[in-house]
Structure 1
Amino acid sequence: MNKPIGIEVSLAAAEAVSLANVDVVAAYPITPQTHVVEHLAELVAEGALKAQYVAVESEHSAMSACVGASAAGSRTFTATASQGLALMHEILYLPSSMRLPIVMVVANRALSAPINIWADHSDIMPQRDTGWVQLFAENGQEVFDLTLMSFKVAEDHKVLLPVMVNMDGFTLSHVIEPVSMLNKEEVDSFLPPMDPFRMLDPENPRSIGGFATQNAYTEVKMAQEDAMGKAAKVFEAVADEYNQKFGREYKAVETYRTEDAEVILVTMGSAGETARTAVDEMRETGVKVGQVSIRMWRPFPLDQFRQAVSGAKVVAVLDRALSPGSQGGPVGMEVRSAFFGFNNAPVIRDFVAGLGGRELNRKVFKEMTSRALDQNQGDEAYTFLDARLK
């Protein structure tokens, strides 16, 4: 195993893409994602990466170019954030329905207005239903590894779906962390060359994603949903292979000190590491608390999640996005639906915090735990929490 090196996480993501030997990168710069595609542009310009770099005029155009490149049989990558991801929204439905295995890194950032460039999950949550496989990384090592793994998951002929790798903006994207990189030979032993299932070819004209009447549209959507179910199993197999080759284990749902926990904190993204530190401190005072990280957001790992929190009296969910008018956040709603109709289901308490990059510290997670265990909290759907708690 290679010795870890200190590297900015955005550059580690770009290095993973380069090691994957992509054919096409189409991207537009936006904070805090810019360093990913900026480094890829440097690698292409220097000749270190033999790829076509397409500098487009917008994120809408970036995803459109990726759709065309992938349909032509190219291993394709892009990256974006926040308003750029929102501008892509119209096109995001195309590669998932057309079964094009594009990989994209999203440096999660708050949506305007007011203008805010710091991390939360408000940009990714409107993309829940676009049909992309969606993964969340907690640290730089996970960003590097999940990016490599995503190409193999996306391109598997049982899946053929695009994949997003989410990393918190600035909190991860701009920090320098120790990352164990792989060399080209190691990556080649894990990730085979691109093997297009079908492709556009001037010598054999065909249409992809054409007009569909009522008697065909539903079938396309059901095939897409079936592929989503298969993606969960393929991710598990790819993760197992990655662990066997490189000694790093990944699961759709990760647990920490949950065996006897009365309350379990649920997180996605970089906040998980802070939550685990808070868990350790609370355990020293006798509080039976554990933590669960959701790594795979889509397809949602329903069975694994239920198993991960089984036995807990209360599940306290951290939402870094608010779904206005729905009485809570998207993750809290997902967790509630996971236990709808269950006998002896845990109490689900949803906490909205960390919006617009507001600090998520150990104090927040201790307050979440305290309120989750407080029988006098009532039945409110969700609670806003603030790192400035006294």
Structure 2
Amino acid sequence: MPRKVIEASTAVAEAVKFCKPAVIPMYPITPQTHIVERISEFINDGDLDSEMIHVESEHSALSAAIGSSATGVRTYTATASQGLALMHEVLFVASGMRLPIVMNVANRALSAPINIWNDHSDSMAARDSSWIQLYVESAQEAFDTTIQAFKIAENKKVLLPIMVCLDGFTLSHVYEPVDLPQQSKVNGYLPKYKPSNILDVKKPVSLGPIGYPDSFMHFKKAQQDAMDNALKIIKKSNSEFKTRFKRSYGNGLIETYNLKGAKFAIVCAGSICGTTRVAVDELRKQGIKVGLIKIKCFRPFPKEDIIAACKKLTGVAVIDRAVSFGFEGPMFTDLKAAIFNEKKKPLIHSFIAGLGGRDVTKNDMLTIFKKISKTKKPITEWLLD
């Protein structure tokens, strides 16, 4: 495998090239732009045989992706922030029609005030749209997960669209070493897409027709069942990827770091997991037993894996880079709900951090570990200083 030092956005574009989507509807938006620019260069240079559709908005980009996927071809797009917000109406159409579209989201804050920097408010606002959501920590993981996403989405037991989320600028514009495999190895892992129900003039069907009250709930239950199936398929895809490429990310749903013997842990997602690892290493050298639980898959939420990871912990700090206004952090809410019925469970603390690109530093992590190790009451705090 050749190893190259490339931008994470380029790593994503390389992954897309390896997966060979037939149609790529695109509308550029910061900080997603480098992804689509690089893909367009691949197409222009003849390295990728795909049809890129230049549309007038993100709403149109996803609408075109829906039409493309409905005809039975592998389809990809990408967006960020206000672009994802503009897509919101049709997110539900893509998932409701069971279309395995893969979309990278270069996570960026939602305005107002206008902000082009990173947090998770854009994708977290779409968490109930029946899209699978996977969050990545590094350029290599962004590359690997984008390839895995096509395999997961196109599985007959899933058939749901997927967002692969990478932190805008903090990761999307960072250069890191990335191992790029041979095309033949990717072909062996990701077979050609074989759709079942498609728009075909020779065999006319209606896709996405009106759902009457006697059938609508059955469609929604089928989507929920597909989400449940995805938990197993994500694990399986991660395991198969490890066999072929010698890399994996926990079990594909969560990844733990130095959790053995730990009393306290931080739960987070995205690039700040790397910062947390550094803090964990520093405290471990001091004999303080702490660890990391990285949420790789946020939807479907890996309830059983979270329960198992938290079983022996005394305290857990959940760091959210988004907030559900009027309540609390989305990951914090879900983690609390996951362990609610357990007889033995840790004290759960909520920290809102890194909104609008504010740095979340190693010292922040050290401070959080210090706070949760000294209290017997739950903490809810915004890291503002």
TM-score (norm. length: structure 1): 0.96
Q: C-alpha offsets along residues 127-172 of structure 1, whole Å, 9 cap, x if unaligned?
A: 1000011101000000000000100111111111111100000011
Q: CA-to-partner distance for each residue in 1:283-310, whole Å, 9 max, x for gaps?
A: 2223221111010111111111111122
Give the aligned partner of residue 74 of structure 1. Answer: 73
Unaligned residue ranges in structure 2 (runs of 5+):
none
Given the two structures, how large is their TM-score scaled by the length of structure 2? 0.98
Q: Secondary structure at the match of 2:121?
A: coil
Are 2:217 and 1:218 equivalent residues in the alignment?
Answer: yes
> 2:310 touches 2:345 (CA, 8 Å); kept in 1?
no
Q: CA 1:379 to 1:192, structure 2 compared with 1: closer, same or farther past 3 Å? A: closer
Which residue type is aligned with residue 276 of structure 1? R
Q: Distance in 2 between matches of 1:105 and 1:33?
A: 8
2:17 match: 18
Question: Match for 2:272: what amino acid?
Answer: A
Aligned to 2:284: 283
Q: How does 1:137-156 map to 2 (within 5 A)?
A: 137-156=136-155
SS at match of 2:215: helix
Partner of 1:355: 355
Q: CA deviation at 1:262?
A: 1.2
- The number of equivalent residue pairs is 383
Q: Report what 2:373 is aligned to.
A: 373
1:110 aligns with 2:104: no
Shift of 1:93: 0.5
Segments of 4+ moved more than 4 angstroms: none
Counterpart position of 1:345: 345
Is 2:16 the partner of 1:27? no
Maintained 8 Å contact 2:134/2:165: yes
2:382 aligned residue: 384
Is the partner of 1:316 in helix, strand or coil?
strand
Q: Structure 2: how far apart are the matches of 1:341 and 1:100?
A: 35
What pairs up with 1:43-122 in 2 under 5 angstroms? 43-122=42-121
Q: Which amino acid in the other structure matches residue 315 of structure 2? A: V
* 1:157-172 map, 5 Å: 157-172=156-171
Cα contact 1:160–1:227 (8 A) shared by 2: yes
Deviations 1:248-267, CA, capped at 9 Å, x for gaps: 01221111111111111001
Deviations 1:28-63 (A, max 9, x none): 000000111111111112221111100000000000
- Point out where structure 1 has 5 or more consecutive residues left out of the alignment: none
1:296-307 to structure 2, matched below 5 A, reads: 296-307=297-308
User: Secondary structure, in 3 states, of the residue corresponding to 1:337?
Assistant: helix
Q: Counterparts of 1:138 and 1:375 in 2: how far apart (Å)?
A: 30
Indicate conservation of the 8 Å contact 1:279/1:291, yes or no.
yes
Residue 188 of structure 1 and its aligned partner are, at CA, apart by 0.9
Separation in 2 of the partners of 1:285 and 1:115? 42
SS in 1 for 2:103: strand
Contact 2:26 2:78 in 1 (8 A): yes
Shift of 1:116: 0.6
Q: Does the Cα contact within 8 Å between 1:104 and 1:164 map onto a contact in 2? A: yes
The separation in 2 between residues aligned to 1:342 and 1:235, in whole angstroms, is 25
The within-5 A match list for 1:234-313 is 234-250=233-249, 251=251, 252-313=253-314
* 1:16 partner SS: helix
**Could you tell me how far 1:3 is from its partner in structure 2?**
3.3
Whether the aligned pair in 1 keeps the contact of 2:347 and 2:378 (CA below 8 Å) is no
> Which residue of structure 2 lines up, in the alignment, with residue 176 of structure 1?
175
Once the 2 structures are TM-superposed, how far is the Cα of residue 379 of structure 1 from its aligned partner? 4.0
Q: Matches of 1:147 and 1:344 in 2, distance apart?
A: 37
8 Å CA contact 1:253–1:308 kept in 2: the answer is no
Tell me if structure 2 keeps the 8 A contact 1:258–1:309.
no
Q: Following the alignment from structure 1 to structure 2, what is the Cα–Cα distance between the partners of residues 123 and 348?
A: 25
